[in-house]
Structures are given as structure tokens and as C-alpha cells.
A and B are shown apart, each in its own frame.
Chain A
Amino acid sequence: EDQVTQSPEALRLQEGESSSLNCSYTVSGLRGLFWYRQDPGKGPEFLFTLYSAGEEKEKERLKATLTKKESFLHITAPKPEDSATYLCAVQRASGYALNFGKGTSLLVTP
């Protein structure tokens, strides 16, 4: 059975304090790993898709990396507007479902 575990559950950073969020996964035949951002009461907003180990993608202060067992979302010099829950999901090569982790709740204080 596929498993996606995100850590930490919650993270509090000061503005400008860089850190990383972790997503560990086990899946039979990975098609892709997805990162989303979710603000309270809203639908998830797509950030990145990673398809193979060694792949990296960047967007503004965010950088996502992928290995065969885990993915990291690195946040460089975060700002208060980066506060949100960050969700990781994996998709099997043979299926349609995204299998989500429970997310990391990030709070960036001024």
C-alpha cells in the first residue's frame, strides 16, 4: 500500500529563516510526486511536479527535490505570505489517484 508521510506536522519560522519540509513515500511504480500549497478554507494550489530521482524545480523562494524515497521542499528566506499548509502527493504509474500526506502547516512570523 502506498504511504506518504510529511514532517514536521507544523513548523514556525521567523521571516528570513530558511528551512526544509520533508515528504517520505513508498509507492509501487511512481509516476509523479506533487507539491501543493493550501490556504485555510481553500482548495490546494499546485506548486511542482517531480517525475524522477535527482530532479529539482524552483519557483521564487521554493525549491523541490526528489530522491527514490523522499522529497524536500526548501524554503529560502521565507516571508509571512508563505504561511500555509504544504501538501505532498504521489501518483502511481498505474492509477489516477493522488495519494496525499497530511501536510506540514507552516507559519512565518515577521
Chain B
Amino acid sequence: SQTIHQWPATLVQPVGSPLSLECTVEGTSNPNLYWYRQAAGRGLQLLFYSVGIGQISSEVPQNLSASRPQDRQFILSSKKLLLSDSGFYLCAWSVGSGETQYFGPGTRLLVL
């Protein structure tokens, strides 16, 4: 069966510091991978998706970037965090476009 991991689970970072969140998927090959953010009082918003190694698409302009160095690894990064980057970051995978997206446990980020 497929499993998705995210770490860290919780992170508190000062404004201006760098960020690296990691997501890995087990039990499937060549998944589509997604990064969503859930901010307080708002619905989940897609930030990035990837259909293959090295292929990244951005849905919204922002302070963040994503990379996919391996088939089942997806990384969310920032060079300098802003207060507005605080939120709950969720990684998800699917077999293909239009297929069900399955979410990981999430990383709660607080920028102070």
C-alpha cells in the first residue's frame, strides 16, 4: 500500500530565515505530487504540482519554490520566510491527473 510522509511535523522559524519541507511517497512509481497550503479561515490552496522528476508547475506567485530531485521526493523551499508564509502545508500524491489526491499528515509552520 502507498504511504506518504512529511517532515518536520511542526516548525517555528524567524522571519527572514530559510525553509525546507520534505515529502516522500512509498509504494507507487511516477506519482503526481502536490504542495497545498491551508491558512487559518481559508480553504486549501494549491501551490505547486509536479508530474515528473524536475518538472514543477507553480499555481500562484509567492515567496516559495519547489523541487523534485527524485521520483518520490518533493521539497518545498524558501530563501527568506515572511510572516504570511505561516500555515499548514500539505503534500499530496495521485496516480495521474484527474485521479484522487491523497494527502500526507502535514507540516505546521509558524513564522515569527
Q: Which A residues contact B (CB, under 8 angstroms)?
A: 4, 31-32, 34, 36, 41-46, 49, 87, 89, 91, 93, 95-103
Which residue of the partner chain, among B32, B49, B105, contacts A42 with CB atoms under 8 Å?
B105
Given pairs A44-B90, A100-B45, A102-B43, 18 additional interface contacts (CB within 8 A):
A31-B98, A41-B106, A41-B108, A43-B90, A43-B103, A44-B44, A44-B103, A45-B103, A46-B101, A49-B100, A87-B43, A93-B98, A96-B34, A96-B57, A98-B46, A99-B43, A101-B43, A102-B42
Answer whether A96 and B49 are a contact pair too, CB < 8 Å, given A43-B103, A46-B102: yes
Q: Which residue of A lies closest to B41 (CB)?
A: A102
Q: Which residues of A contact B87 (CB under 8 A)?
A: none
How many whole Å from A10's CB to the nearest CB in chain B? 13
Tell me how far the C-beta of B80 lies from the nearest C-beta in chain A, rounded to whole angstroms.
26
Q: Is B26 engaged at the interface, CB distance under 8 Å to the other chain? A: no
The interface residues of chain B lying within 8 Å CB-to-CB of A103 are 43
